[in-house]
A = this chain, B = another copy of it.
Amino acid sequence: METLKTIFEHRSIRKYKDTAVEKDVLDNILNAAIRTSTTGNMQVYSIIVTQDKKRKEELHKIHFGQGMILEAPVLLTFNADFNRFNKWCKQRKAEPGYDNFLSFTTAAIDALIAAQNATLAAEAQGLGVCYLGTTTYQAHKLVDFFNLPKGVVPMTTLVIGYPEDIPPLVDRLPAEAVVHYESYKDYSNEDIDRLYVEKEALDETKKLLKENNLETLAQIFTQNRYPKNVNVDFSRLFLEVIEKQGFMNQ
């Protein structure tokens, strides 16, 4: 079943060929995103396509200099977006009440599930994709860069292009680490040990520990990759964006 195959063979691509994405291929990706379910069919999200070389260079800086942004021909930034809907309401004798956090969440959900449809539509056409987690970190800069009006908040970005090389599948925790039946089954110490034993035994993990001179893989996350002070700073900035863009008027 090709759809399942597309899903099961997903890997994030971080090296791209210098090959353009054809217009019909890109249109398929965008139309796939547009076909995704949205709350009440309001379609309260938007997608910004970046192909211009100069603008990609700017985005490269904003997204902390990740090299693949310069290589890949297309970036898609997905926004929670009530702007168009609000304008429509006002033009149709209806007073929109979407300047609150629930509406932000609704719009963010629209944007994110559309991004995953775009991802699969790209992969099914032989393209590689990588999500940029830095979009929410840098939302304040992206609002300026894209000239986003009130009601619009950037949520995620897809880097898209033809893969230069296809890395092996990345490990995942066993299903029982993620799936619960009927009720949430919290984890005992033994559960945690069992669920992480394989990941911790990977050669890649051992290499990372050596490179970072740390004792545990968890420390690589808490000390190097996603340390508390960085999360706290960017939390404040992202909440300010949500407020500035008009979603905190409860």
Contacts and interface: CB of A to CB of B under 8 A. Distances in A.
Q: Which 7 A-B pairs have the closest CB atoms?
A: A97-B228, A3-B124, A94-B218, A116-B116, A2-B2, A92-B218, A92-B216
A47 B93 contact: no
Looking at chain A's contact residues, is the secondary structure mostly helix, strand, loop, or mixed?
helix
Interface of A: 1-4, 6-8, 10, 12, 27-28, 30-37, 39-43, 45-52, 55, 83-85, 87-89, 91-98, 100-103, 105-106, 108-109, 112-113, 115-117, 119-121, 123-125, 130-131, 133, 136-137, 146-149, 152, 155-156, 170-173, 175, 177-184, 186-187, 189, 192-193, 195-196, 215-219, 221-223, 225-229, 231-232, 234-236, 238-239, 250
A34 B178 contact: yes
A241 to B, nearest CB: 11
B137 A179 contact: no
A95 B170 CA distance: 25
A110 B137 CA distance: 15
A193 B108 CA distance: 25
A231 B102 contact: yes
A227 B100 CA distance: 11
Contacts of A136: 102, 105-106, 109
Given A3-B124, A7-B32, A30-B175, A222 B117 contact: no
A123 B196 CA distance: 31
Contacts of A10: 35-37
A184 B1 contact: no
A184 B21 CA distance: 21
B216 A137 contact: no
Contact of A182 (B45, B50, B186): B50
Contacts of A184: 46, 48, 146-149, 152
A186 B149 contact: yes
Contact of A37 (B31, B83, B131, B173): B131
Given A8-B35, A96-B222, A106-B133, 15 more contacts: A3-B6, A4-B28, A7-B35, A36-B116, A43-B177, A47-B178, A49-B179, A50-B182, A92-B216, A93-B216, A94-B222, A94-B223, A101-B239, A112-B112, A117-B120
